[in-house]
Structure 1
Amino acid sequence: MKKHFKMYKNGKRWCVAAIATISLGLGISLGSIAHADMVPNNETPAADTLTTGTPANTNPLQGNDNSTGTDTQSDNQTPVKPEATENKDVAQQTIPETGTPNTFPTINNNTYYYNSEGQLVKNNFYSNWGQTYYFQPSGARLDNGFYNNWGNTYYFGNDGARWDNRYMVRWGNAYYFGNDGALIKNKSLNVNGKDYWVNNQGIIPLRNQFLTANDNQLYYFDANNSLITNKFYHNWGSTYYFGADGARYTNQFLTRDGKVYYFDNDGVMYQDRYYKNWGNTYYFGADGARYTNQFLTKDGKVYYFDNDGVMYRDRYYKNWGNTYYFGADGARYTNQFLTKDGKVYYFDNDGVMYRDRYYKNWGNTYYFGADGARYTNQFLTKDGKVYYFDNDGVMYRDRYYKNWGNTYYFGADGARYTNQFLTKDGKVYYFDNDGVMYQDRYYKNWGNTYYFGADGARYTNQFLTKDGKVYYFDSDGVMYQNRYYKNWGNTYYFGADGARYTNQFLDKDDSNTHIHYFDSEGRMLVNQWLMYEGSTIYFDKNGYPVTGKQDINGQNYLFNEDGALIPNGINRVNYTQYLGTLVGLYQNADWFKDCLSNHTMYYGKVTSGVNDGYSFITAKGDPTSWFYFKEIQDGQVLIKYVDPTTATDIAHSKFVEKAVPLKKLTAIYNNEQNETLINDYANKLVAYK
């Protein structure tokens, strides 16, 4: 005979009345479906039972069991499914009646089952995977709920599976669900080798007992049968904690009194231990509290843990106006260099980053800037001085530095030479306002002029040839200006601009009165003749030009007041005419005189070509009549002409050169009988055009 149930509401309590009874075997096979009219249903529990969403202070395991009413025989013996009132949220949901066969979809956070025919299973039990599940009248699986029927209480967990052979700790008490899932009541139960009498509410009166219950959690009941909650427990040299629900903290963090603690897989509090997770490292101190915004000194190293307790690794830390660094292992950098992002930093004995500070080691000096980075290939301007640090960060000291086409020098203290002289290896150098070494440059100071050469060394006891001029610098490097210089048996003169007089007259007091003449080598003429712009001048042993009648080497000469030699006592025959006349008479007197008579003898001066600098006489139109001449050293005159005997025609004839002593030519003039005649010859020469 079947037993039928009808659910009805009595006030605020749901009651179940037996409508009819028959004998029934409740064997539920794995994977089978059992209708709710054949097995317990917890969707309409009595008011003293727990349903899904039961308030925490409500204990469905207390009170009378009203799951089963009196048996009532139905008229037709047809099974009647119990009426049910579900959770409002679930009842109001519209769930499709058909779906994919043999699937368990999750809809609106509830799990449903569509059987092999694709029909939504409702108000039925389902067994599979060694577990028993219940799908409510709405089709939603019962999760985290109690179910009362047949005078028994059952519990379905968060995965919907019924609890079988499991302990439960709730409301401060311990309970046990047996092999069939029913709550044990009114019977003896052995727990951890000790027998306890379980009362009619299913409470196990544990004392001084640990119990593994619920989801494999550990609980402890003291000597007064009280569940330990929100308390530390000390034993076996370790500390444990039981939380608000009495469960021992396992692989959990505890925040208590503003501190954080951690309990491992055995529930042991971490003390003086590191903890690693989420890619971070934490530390729990001697009291078990997590280090937070704290420094840890351990094994001679210093570590820091931030506001979340995370160990600083590869991170800067700033405080007290200082910067610190904690490396990959979390240890603070102390007396260490750090290379990061291509820069180098240093941290002192207290871990403080060097900033705007020098560092000395290995005989070198380094500098760390405002950002803490070591100066590398950089200039530093500090206290009005400039310093340079090389590729290794080493300060330049007693070293040259070359860049931008310039040379600089950094002294013993590392400071760049600026507006300073450097004496090194017996030489003197100068560096300007920008620290640039003077090279190929003049320097003027103290009313003097100095010169620094291509290598930067100051010219000392040296000649300088620059822009075609020659200068001299004395033992102090001072340029000679308006000064005589004597050496190698000669006398030289350097003018107001410092340039050596070359092929120049030196005038007295800017009066255009010549007092000395300096040749192409800059030598003062002494006891020498000078042919200059048509005049012949003679300088005595002191280098002064002579005037008046002079006896020179046993010969008499007449010089005007300007020192020019006067051929006839008047200043109207120039030097080229005079000397050309002597050359013509010397070479071929008859020919020369005939040309003069015919007015075909010319004179002039060559200003270009191979004969540049020569004077000449010529019988115009006669290619063999060109005689070139010029005064050369040692008082001689070089005569150059075409010798027609050297070839069969003029075009291929060669020039012949011969040097004739000037005195041999002037001897022609010095003969008093010839003076007037020679002057007349000279006057008849015609300027060549």
Structure 2
Amino acid sequence: MVVIVGYISFFSGAIGFETIKADSNAQSSKFNTEDVVNNANQAKSELKTNSTNQLGWVSTENIADNTSQSTEESRVNNNQVNDTTVLQKDTTSTNMSSTLVENNESTVQYKKETSNISRERNSLSVNDGWYQDYLGYRYVKKDGTLMTSKDAHSNGWNYVNGIPYVFTSSGYLTTNDLVYIKGKYYYLDDNGHYLKNSWNKYFGTYYYHKVDGSAMTSADVHSNGWNYVGGAPYVFTDSGQLERNDLVKVREKYYYLDGNGHYLKNSWNKYFGTYYYHKADGSAMTSADAHSNGWNYVGGAPYVFTDSGQLERNDLVKVRGKYYYLDGNGHYLKNSWNKYFGTYYYHKADGSAMTSADAHSNGWNYVGGAPYVFTDSGQLERNDLVKVRGKYYYLDNDGHYLSNTWKNTFLGDYYLTSDGSAVTLSKGWYYIGGQAYLFDDTGSVYKDTKVIYKGRTYRFDQYGHYYKNKGYYEWGANEYYGPDGALKG
């Protein structure tokens, strides 16, 4: 019976698939995410035809071939014990090879003792070299101990035959992972070799590894704020991640980077519900690009952009002292009413809001022939008492003036005549429906009070009617008003 515990091989020198490398002379100017996958597959296919790479690293795919070639030589050493699996060193080759021999009595067992490698039975001491267990690759130094992270040089790397690697604290070779060494990021491939001059995708994020293997970062930017790979501009974070599908700020300008990290240009883009227009150089149009009339132009159409490049829309904006309402597409309204936060505006043919500056000589603004009153900032006056050319008018909820009616306001009660104006602006009597009322200087009628007017005393009830032929009695007062309404001595 043959029992094989794991697959274990020893060989001198370094292990390794040939690292996927980018051609340093490549002229391609732009990165495409699909290229990363295609290049990787092509490189792996080429590896199958090569036994070693340019640096002389032994490929793990050749281990099996080396093993079979040295098996017969190992058997000549007569170290076969019945039905026992024994690992022996091939004395005729510089590579370590394994020979499987059957032994009915026992199977081989391995155990770690303070990072030393030993065998319990029919043991063979291994002084140095690579070996593989079910968790990965390990390297045994000449003193018989495992190489670990504690053996790293001052530059952060472990070296085996002059080749840099990274080992964990438990002595396993780090592979297929992004590592951080002395402030820089490196990607280690299947064999623990760092990538260089190539793109790599790691958990959905792209990195570009330079000639020294370190990931390009924001620290590598040119004076213009961009990173360059093959002549094409990109943006990388402090930790080397390629910025893509995001709005970024480069030298105080905003750019949108697509899925490949290339900036958009001559196009609109929607980012988290906000629209931007990116010019020919890729930068977002901003208020700094506005013409002398205050407007930005895209395709001949006027727009308004903020300092940070956001398109103003669904908002009231001020351009060169005038107010405009911009719809959902950023186009200004014209010849129409608009309600903005409970306030009404009327936008003229040029889109600007009608204001008090547009009033006719009689003090009124006209829309469709109807008189209105607008403030200096274009707000329609409504539900309020307003003064127009020295007269008071009360404007209802639609901005129309009331006429031939009483109106109670916070300033008092007013009677509005047929032309809408309050009855008078000078203190005196005014007859409405045959009833006499006394008004103050503001045009408000006296109610619930006693008034001295032109040397005579009058008292008015809650409706503004004066007392006549009527007494008035209260604590400490006993008054009588005659037929003319005046208080009698």
TM-score range, shorter chain: 0.3 to 0.5
Q: Which has the higher strand share?
A: 1
Give TM-score, length-normalised by structure 2.
0.43
Give TM-score, length-normalised by structure 1.
0.32
Bigger CA radius of gyration: 1
